[in-house]
Amino acid sequence: MAEAGKIRVLIAKPGLDGHERGARVVAYGLRDQGFEVVYTGLRQTPEQIVNAAIQEDVQVIGLSVLSGAHLTLTGKVIEKLKARHADDILVLVGGIVPEGDMTALRDMGVAGIFTAGTRISAIADFIRSRVSQDSRV
């Protein structure tokens, strides 16, 4: 199913937050940039997201949260990735993340945080640099 050479990304909306403009724009944008993108749609549990990531064999998960529940939900996704030995998947977070929470997210293992005003090309460059780098190991 996966196209050869393309980096595979899952864009996911954890929790009950219904603001999906950012998630959809990033999904369209990364697809335009040559990535293979799967979008989960709204209201996914961390369990569902990790299952989808493993099933779709993605290298990157982009979590979009605008409800203030980013610490809890991101923590759960990463915990479940570890439990399934899938923590080589790069986890990114987008949405409304107050500066004071960024260190906590990075400490959990989030590779990149992208808030309002980010260019999609910047996200794409970041993924390319990290994924090629990781796969060389």
Partner 1 sequence: MDDNYRKKLKEAVAEWEEKVLKPRVKRFNLPESPTRFYTPLDVKDDVFLSKVGFPGWYPFTAGNNPFDFWRAYAGDAARMGYRPDWGGAGKVGKYGGFGTPADYRDYLLRMQSMGRRGGPNIAFDLVTQCGYDSDSLHAEGEVGRVGVAVDSFRDFQIIYEAYTGDLDIDKVPSNYTINAPAAVVIAMYACLAKKRGIPLEKLEGTPQNDILKEFIARGTYIYPPGPSLRLFRDTCVFITKHMSALNINSIGGYHIREAGATRVQDLAFSLANGIAYLQAGIGGGLAVDEFAPKFTFNAFGGSMEIYHEIAFQRAARRMWARILKERFGAKDPRSMMIRQPITAHIGCSSTTLQRPLNNLARAVVGGIAAGMSGGIPGAFPPFDEPLGLGHSLEAVQLQLDATRIMIYEAKVTDVNDPWAGSYFMESLTDQTEEAALTEMEKIEKMGGAVVTIENGYMQRAVARSAFERQKLIESQKEFVVGVNSFTGPNEIEVSVNRVFEATYDPALMKTAEERQKAALAALRRERDGNAAASALKTLKEKAKDETANLMPPICDCVERDATLQEICDVMRDVFGEAEPMKL
> Which residues of this protein are in contact with partner 1, per CB under 8 A?
15-21, 24-25, 27-29, 37, 39-43, 45, 66-69, 72-73, 76, 96-98, 115-117, 119-121
Closest approach of partner 1 to the CB of residue 41, in Å: 3
101-to-16, 73, 96, 104, 137 alpha-carbon distances in Å: 20, 13, 10, 5, 30
Nearer to partner 1, 18 or 135 (CB): 18
Scan for tokens 């809890």, then name that residue. 72
Nearer to partner 1, 100 or 137 (CB): 100
Nearer to partner 1, 24 or 128 (CB): 24
Closest approach of partner 1 to the CB of residue 42, in Å: 4
Helix extents (H) in 1-137: 21-32, 46-55, 70-83, 102-108, 120-136
CA-CA distance, 86 to 83, in Å (whole number)? 8
Nearer to partner 1, 73 or 89 (CB): 73
Closest approach of partner 1 to the CB of residue 77, in Å: 12
CA-CA distance, 35 to 53, in Å (whole number)? 15
